[in-house]
Structure 1
């Protein structure tokens, strides 16, 4: 286990330091062990160098997320989907963090899933990259990344992004791509993760955009956006999040063919313009957006304000919406927003 990782960890319940107990193996490879918190009395298991901070999940909503995304990553993604070179392009276009900025830095991938973006960043020579996720996708991430990039400075931690086991101001760069909107309170999770970033560090997020996006002078579209959210998206999510995955897919079969026929994605499951109704991708998005208990949508201005509130000034805005990263420089500094891609 990387010593730099041990120095970053704390008890998620109390925030206190942890004592390491190695039962099998050594510090280079802990086959079995535990972290102990004297203050809280908690014990956290370590197996094959992965510490487990959320092995027992009490919150029903988060438990639903764990089950949904464990299925999503195990059954609906293969190795090729993790090492796809297009991820590097998409990541750069989204958060606009240059690969040179990752070199020799301590990085957090908050909600790494199956590791597709961790795989990208692992090749940018970080001092340490921490891949952090609650789901079983973490195991696939470890297996795949270490297979294809054996020299990577990477560690894997299991836990909950709403209550992470890391000391505040520990990371030079943290990013959470497509994750915070799947938590019970997106704004609160944003703050929690932002607190882990050092002063002068970089934080980036991608969250679902509130659709359809609209300009302030197009109030009719704004009304349609609210009606779509409250009368269509939320009721479907409420029902589907309580059903088996197989039944959710069955419900969306006729919807898929109808949307493909009219050439318009009402439910937001369609993909890139080059192939918007690719069926495999469409149903991965169905599970991501509707089987999950939480999937909030946000306006760009709303996310800008969150960054400003937490001391980020130089914002970099990319695509897809809403993709924003910023440098933490203090709330008294001049605010600047740079758009790195052509906006609609």
Structure 2
């Protein structure tokens, strides 16, 4: 029996999972607010659209609304969170609390994404939005005593025409807390190539970017994201299995993604909610891991999906009997794929991640 298997069966998984160092690359700022914060911000700005003003009931409402099996219905829940994130003070608070909440869950490195264009209703400029969020993250890092490092990804929306503008914003702020760029929103009818000028601009300026693909649309969206647009990572990417035969033989696209170490930002709970997977036990993450893909484990939207990194770890431990060795593998893969300078990635792995998991094994 492997050590990881033995630990999974003899030690309280919930205990060591909470203590395990974690890295998250795919977490949406507007999908992870505290319910009480939403209610307080709604009162402050006069927003009256919330379904309830009870924090516990609101948390349940978000989770139930997301459990639809439809990406489009899932995305509708963000109307409420974005509505209360329209001022500098609100953005600062939400970002600071995000860093605190992630650190409390054992996350040592996070890349949190949001779409600046969705926070302009009260008169903020794009630059003011980015500055407020970055300042909030720095405050959150300070409050946690430096236990977490947070970078932001600026997101362009697939259904609008501002992606080049957001790409330019990313380049302008990349030395002030912005780690890279993302494209998100409903995949159907909005292929990533529609935003090719944005990706070309980022390439010209040597700027990192990831692309949501292979969630609601099949492997063709991943092909376009990788081969046409040049994505370094793929948000979700679970539909890469469309290019994998039942016997595990990889098609040319799947082999390219695996062999070139293009990281897949896999979000199991979210995938169940949007219909990209049926249940945890049949989620393709285990197959992809066994086939050698660079798999990372992520939350997507902590409020909307009703999850945390610890809970995602727990679901995978329950479904596939993973122990610390596998979660260390996922965490190292995430840090290796992070939009950070190489020395900083090595520092996080060598000084935080490896010692953290060694301590867990030593305590077993």
Report the TM-score when normalising by structure 2.
0.27
Greater per-residue strand proportion: 1
Asked which structure has the greater RCO (Cα within 8 Å, sep 6+), the reply is: 2
